[in-house]
Amino acid sequence: MSNTVMGATPVLVVGAGPTGLTMACELARRGVPVRIVDKRAAIDPYCRATTIHSRTLEIFHDLGIVDEILEQGQRFVAYNEYANGRRLSRRPTGQVDSPYPFTISLEQFRTEAILAALLGRLGVVVERCAELVALAEHPDGVAATLRHGDGREEAVAVPWLVGCDGAHSTVRHLIHQSFPGMEDSHRFVQGDVIVAGPVAGDEGYAFLCDTGVLYLFPLPQRRTLVAADLPQHHDDAKEPPSVELFQRLMAERGPAGTSVTDARSMAYFRIHYRLVPHYRHGRRIFLAGDAAHVHSPAGGLGMNTGIQDAYNLAWKLALVAQGMSPHAVLESYEAERRAVAKDVITMSRVMTDRSEAFSHLSQAERECIYVNVVVPEAEARHLAEHLEALDLDYRKSPICGEHGTLRRLGGGPGPGAEARDAGPLQLGDRQLTLFELLRGPHHTMLVFPGARTGPAGWLRLARLAASIRQPDGAPINVHLMAHAKEAVPSDLPAATSIVLDLEGALHRRYDARAECLYLIRPDGYIGYRSAPADARHLRQYLACLFVRAQC
């Protein structure tokens, strides 16, 4: 099997964890040559990251692997918090606006295997036992040296290099990128175990105690990920992780009558909070995932953030690599994603600090926690959307814009917001939702004629749509969105794509009461909107985004 798509000089992706595999899959399905290397001989059979949030499930839907994830994963239905045996709260999951309104627990090695299988179907295999040992950037590419498992060194020249090689990133070290931050003073232990006792197999738990905190998270096949902080006097070297240690921590902090057996993937760890100053080095080297940011595992945010980094960068890099977009488009990667990582670091640290602090609180301070634990429903929903990465806002991005009398779109998603799903829709003889219409490696433009648009207006918008679909134009699918109650003229050009909004849900969600358009990026965010659908300003926007855009 070939290791590159199309046989041309490939983009080199270093690191075949979830971030690197997502990056390689996204490039490959866009027809961009890609080569992915990893110094590991195989996928590590450890739990590590186990949480897959709603936004990442939406990404996996676009990639065509969400059904495999759901089939192998364990749905996470609620999170419970106890303090010295007293239940503080039980927060159900699933209260978010997504086709996948829940969290899935799945061991990282299974997620990697699903992504690697997809990559193989796209014609690319991971080159294992291949370690990056040197690199240098030149104006027209990157020179890298790979050392293979047999000791052979290979000099490669590639147009782009993406470092997805984790917290100890070789790419980051070779480009002399600093990794400022701090280390948490607490030590932790975690393990993949079987738990028997008064805990639900599909819920998560945090037990705050005088002696520390104990976490339980559900895993597939009736297993549980257990994590706990350790006493300061604990000697890691003399007492390696063991099932006896987990049983002792469970007896000390967990519910009475709970047993721990069959411990696997046991490890000690410390938490670091670190963020690189820049996600891009020069013009042709990028960092993504843990190579760019690390933080507490609280909230299960790390793997999701890395996958979303790759999903953000890949479509931009593909367009630039194929000569369809200018290099300036790549500046938006850091502008959009570094702010997300900064927020994730803050959020995970707040959650961790709160748990770690419990054992040091006075009784009066603990009583405040008991009294104030109830969160109003609206706030709880907002926090859930934030945790599931459904409220990201790229409005300050250099590639997001809008034009027109935008008070008409006050209720619709703004530039930089996620294009939320709606339906049912009808395209030809196929019934689908907006997410299914968007699926694929292209931009999508939704043009709403408005309820009072006559035949001449429909024809004008159909011609606008046709001009964007020229052979040398931008890779944009354009659809005229018709409310089911509206009459669509029968004399529109044959190539016009008409999508019926059968119940008006899409029009309501996008506040399309009058003529307007939304341009949705391949990663599912609003790149541009306009009310009305003004061709001149649309042309100006597309000219910044695409080299050969026409309209």
From the list 469, 436, 491, 490, the residue with the least C-alpha distance to 548 is 469
Instruction: Examine residue 95 and state whether it is found in any structural domain, yes or no.
Output: no
Q: Can you point out the beta strands (E) in 277-361?
A: 280-281, 285-287, 293-294
Q: Which domain holds residue 521?
A: 401-545
Provide mean pLDDT across the span 464-485.
81
Q: Do 231 and 174 sit in the same domain of this protein? A: no
- Tens digits of per-residue pLDDT, 355-391? 888 877 877 776 666 555 556 677 778 888 999 999 9
* Sign, Cα dihedral of 313, 315, 321, 325: negative
- CATH code where residue 266 lies: 3.30.9.10
- CATH code where residue 328 lies: 3.50.50.60
Beta bridge partners of 36: 13
**CA 149 to chain CA centroid, nearest Å:** 32
Query: How many Å apart are CA 542 and CA 545, to the nearest integer?
Result: 5
Domain boundary, last residue among 235, 253, 272:
272
Q: Which residue is associated with the tokens 């027109």?
A: 404
Q: Do 438 and 299 sit in the same domain of this protein? A: no
Q: DSSP for 85-125, please give it.
A: TEEEEEEES--SSSSS-SEEE--HHHHHHHHHHHHHHTT--
Structure confidence at residue 46 as a pLDDT band (50, 70, 90): confident
Q: Is the pLDDT of residue 509 over 90?
A: yes
Ranking 198-212, 247-261, 350-364, 433-447 by mean pLDDT, the lowest is 350-364
Query: How many Å apart are CA 108 and CA 214, to the nearest integer?
Result: 21
Domain boundary, last residue among 358, 386, 410:
358
Q: Do 480 and 531 sit in the same domain of this protein? A: yes
Structure confidence at residue 5 (pLDDT): 46
Q: Do 160 and 139 sit in the same domain of this protein? A: yes
The domain tally of the chain equals 3
Instruction: Examine residue 3 and state whether it is found in any structural domain, yes or no.
Output: no
Q: Do 282 and 246 sit in the same domain of this protein? A: no
Q: Do 493 and 535 sit in the same domain of this protein? A: yes
Domain boundary, last residue among 272, 289, 312:
272
| 0.85 exceeded by pTM | yes
Q: Is the pLDDT of residue 471 over 50?
A: no
Provide mean pLDDT across the span 112-141.
97
Q: Do 218 and 344 sit in the same domain of this protein? A: no
Q: Is the pLDDT of residue 450 over 90?
A: no
Structure confidence at residue 473 (pLDDT): 57
Q: Do 163 and 190 sit in the same domain of this protein? A: no
Structure confidence at residue 507 (pLDDT): 95
